[in-house]
Amino acid sequence: MSRLITKQQIAEAAENAYTMARVVNGGHNAHYIPYLANVPSDLFALTITLPDGTTFSYGDDEYVFGIESVSKVATAILAMKQWSPEIVLEKIGADATGLPFSSVFSILLENDHPTTPLVNAGAIAACSMLKPFGKPDEKWQAIVGNMTALFGSEPQVLKELYRSESDTNYKNRSMAWLLKKHDRLYDDPMMSLDLYTRQCSLGVNCRQLAAMAATIANDGVNPVTGDRAFPAEISPKIVSMMASVGFYQHTGDWLFSSGLPAKTGVGGGIVGVLPGLMGIAAFSPRLDDAGNSVRAQAALKLFMQTLDLGIFNTTQVELA
Ligand code: GLN
């Protein structure tokens, strides 16, 4: 069975979701990173990008905020591109942790296995396995180059955020050494940690995140630039990782209620992917107890419900 939806229906559903979610005020800015605690809490944006590049965008969609853990999606793609999805599975894993993003148990519970590049431990491991080994500047170029291809424009480090995170990331530091102890770090620990911290401190806007989501939905070709960012075989792999752990300990509840594989960051951003159909991004700084934006979640759910979308639905949806 299949069903057609029009661009007009998408635009109306997005505008409606944006308007309704605007009044959702629960949660708090991330408080453990001083820079994020001070971002204006009422900022809000919603952007949808289709595989032909058509974009519907609402609110503060040009406001530049910290990408934080959404960067883990980009670097997981880069690691799979440089090596292969199978090698990333072997060296890091692709499991649901059911745990907070900074949990050390994600290293210890599964025979010293960090479990997925989409939580802190696995993301530090992903930075460590990037090529070329021992060369932080070139690794950094690879990280930013990959993100530029995904976003359609180059992200810049928010220097104050980088300083704020570097000064307070004691737990991530200890995790880098724990990974090293378990032979799950593939380059210098403090260099790998610094690459991870720097990539989390990159500034992005909601339009860039929607372009990245649409690139994943579009088998690796960025619909805004028309350029291929990664091989098509990586798309289903990264979507499966997002689906299994994108909201940390709330991932199952999220997937159950939204039907949307998505990944959050404590900067307030969320990227969601409907394979073949569209990329969706939302941003708002107030977070729930797992570090997922409350208002952005509300907007994405409303959008999905209005159009009756969801990856588990039996009716195939196509663009008219
Ligand atoms: N940089 C943050 C950290 O390491 C990212 C966490 C997140 O966005 N969930 O804690």
Residue segments in the chain with a per-residue pLDDT below the cut of 50:
none
Q: How far is the CA of 243 from the centre of ligand 1 (A)?
A: 18
Nearest to 161 by CA among 192, 123, 200: 200
Residue 63: how many CB atoms within 10 A of its CB?
18
Burial-class residue 70 by CB neighbours within 10 Å (0-12, 13-18, 19+). Answer: buried
- Ligand 1 atom with least separation from CA of 197: 1
- What SS3 class is residue 294? helix
Ligand 1 mean position to 162 CA, how many Å?
A: 12
Note the pLDDT of residue 106. 76
Q: What are phi and psi of 272, to 5 degrees?
A: -125, 145
CA 196, CA 71: separation in Å to the nearest integer?
9
So what's the pLDDT on residue 107?
A: 75
120 C-alpha to ligand 1 centroid (Å): 7
Index of the ligand 1 atom closest to the CA of residue 201: 1
Residue 267 is predicted with a pLDDT of: 98
Taking only the tens place, the pLDDT of each residue in 52-92 is 999 999 999 999 999 999 999 999 999 999 999 999 999 99
- Number of other residues whose CB lies within 10 A of the CB of residue 103: 20
Q: What is residue 114's predicted lDDT score, i.e. its pLDDT?
A: 64
Ligand 1 pocket test target in 164, 266, 287 with most atoms within 8 Å of CB: 266
CA distances (Å), origin 252, targets 7, 8, 89, 297: 30, 31, 21, 14
pLDDT of residue 105: 81
Mutation probe of ligand 1 site: the residue of 35, 67, 97, 102 with most atoms within 8 A of C-beta = 102
Residue 286: the pLDDT is 98
